[in-house]
Amino acid sequence: MTRHPWTLRRRLVVGLVLLLAILSGVVGTTSIAILHQDLMSRLDETLEQNSMKRMSKFDDGVDQGRPPSGQQVPDNLGPGQKAGNLIVVTDGETVEMAVFVDESGTETQLPDAVVDTIRAGIDDSAPPRTLDLGDELGSYRLIERTDPRTGLNVYSGISTSEVETTIRNLVLIFVVVGLVALAIAAVAGVALVRRSLRPLENVAATAKRVSERDLVDGEVELPERVPEEQADPRTEVGQVGAALNRLLGHVEQSLVARYRSEQHLRQFVADASHELRTPLASVRGYTELARREPERLSETQTHSLARIDAESARMTALVEDLLLLARLDAGQRLRHEEVDVVRLVVEALSDAQAADRGHVWELEAPDEELVVTGDGDRLRQVLANLLANARHHTPDGTRVTASVAARDGIVEVRVSDAGPGIPPELLPEIFGRFVRGDASRTRRGASAGLGLSISQAIVESHGGTIDVDSEPGRTTFTVRLPEDAGAATAVAEPSNGGDPVRRAAADAQDPNEALQDGAGRDRTSADHGGVGAR
């Protein structure tokens, strides 16, 4: 069962109603108690007066200190007696008189049991007391007085039914009025609290809209602000709104500064990578030229030239990777063509097997084609990076499986290996740039840690996702591509007068060079610096 949270609005309304209920209860209880005490005091005064009057009338009928005969008892009560009045007269032992006035105004003899209850419960000269005289008579206020002239004990009583009825009716009125007042207070409280908290709700709505924006990268604007009339610092809620507006202003300034810094960095990387391609090509060219006459070179010179050629090739690959990342970050449009992913996986796995027969390579793929729209060369580079990643970071004899399947319009490619796995602390940043997992895998070959970054950028530029799941003995990279992946890369064509990163990408002599700069490289080692990312 889902419990509704106790929101501030609910707590305020419930607190207001409870406070009003407590105050109403205290006021009502106090008022009823005071009224009951006042009514009983008046009843006691009437009882004292009736007792004195009855004794004086009784004294008028005394003959030589004796009470009147039983036939004269009704005369002693006097005319106009209220219903419920009673009198009991005793000489200490004998009951001389015991009558009460019933509802019809007739004086009726009291039962002996009632007389015994009265005599046992009332003391002489004690203040008036309330006794229950049974179901027929009910509750009575009674008093005992001794006639000083005759020595007779006179018990006088008045029914408390009127007082009880008055108090009961008053309690009912208080309850009904109190409930109505609480209902009105609840409705009014809801409206009042809702109106009072509306500015706070607007503040929360503004914060929610900001939280739903993508603030990770790119140029970000935060136009959301709390309205000025709800950001008055002279009110409590207004202080929250004003503070949020200031916070959003600071965040927007920070995001703008971050974006400019990223743009400057991208420009530097693109320009530097582009400018380094020519001297690196020259270094490799002169190295190849010098190695054409090996008979004129000493053993040391031959070894040195080989190292120069290898390192310049590695540097060239790193520069190409950096330039590719800069172009992808700048939103460079990729080619749109139909690509059979099954064929790409088969070719990439064949290349990996040819490059390294020390591993066990397996393929799981359907017989039919699985086609997506995208850049075939870039997708081939992703698969080559993932397979080379498994090859370079697992020992010989490790089983590596590449599988491809289609589910709900998504083509899913998995590259799994039975290697030692990736350390848990490395998983959150595995796709970061220059991240290498040398400590976790048996690393063979140089690596700059860019392969997985490039793979992620290529996959995301196709509107897809790439993730990793790893534990000791199993690591799986999963690439998911929508079948209409080309629609996700519909970025405006770069122009030479726009983003400097795009401008550098467009400086290539061949218009297709920006899209195919790695296509001519050996696909089994296309990742170069990327395989070390695991």
User: Is the Cβ–Cβ distance between 110 and 99 less than 8 Å?
Assistant: yes
The CATH number of whichever domain residue 430 belongs to comes to 3.30.565.10
Same structural domain for residues 299 and 371?
Answer: no
Show the domain range for 71: 8-167
The CATH number of whichever domain residue 39 belongs to comes to 3.30.450
Same structural domain for residues 266 and 380?
Answer: no
Q: What is the pLDDT of residue 503?
A: 38
Q: What is the pLDDT of residue 531?
A: 33
Last residue of a domain, one of 329, 355, 379: 329
Query: Could you give the angle at which helices 376-392 and 341-355 cross, rounded to 10 degrees?
Result: 40
Instruction: Report the chain (534 residues): mean pLDDT per 10 consecutive residues.
Output: 72 89 91 91 84 68 47 48 78 79 76 82 76 82 80 82 89 91 90 83 83 72 79 80 84 83 76 79 86 85 88 81 74 80 92 89 90 89 90 89 90 92 85 65 56 86 90 92 61 36 38 33 34 33
- Of residues 353, 389, 406, the one with CA closest to residue 468: 389
Same structural domain for residues 82 and 158?
Answer: yes
- Provide the β-strand partners of residue 416: 401, 476
Q: What is the pLDDT of residue 22?
A: 92
Q: What is the pLDDT of residue 361?
A: 92
Same structural domain for residues 424 and 478?
Answer: yes
Q: What is the pLDDT of residue 57?
A: 65
- Of residues 163, 157, 162, 119, the one with CA closest to residue 140: 157
Same structural domain for residues 400 and 501?
Answer: yes
Residue 27, H or E segment: helix 8-60
* C-beta neighbour count of 22 within 10 angstroms: 10
Same structural domain for residues 102 and 38?
Answer: yes
Quote the number of domains for the chain. Answer: 3
Cα–Cα–Cα angle for 530, 533, 534, nearest 5°? 130
Percent of the chain with pLDDT over 90: 16
Q: What is the DSSP string of 270-300?
A: HHHHHHHHHHHHHHHHHHHHHTT-GGGS-HH
Helix, strand, coil shares of the chain, percent, nearest 5, are 55, 15, 30
> Rounded to whole angstroms, how far apart are CA atoms 230 and 433?
45
Same structural domain for residues 499 and 461?
Answer: yes
Last residue of a domain, one of 278, 303, 329: 329
Last residue of a domain, one of 310, 329, 348: 329
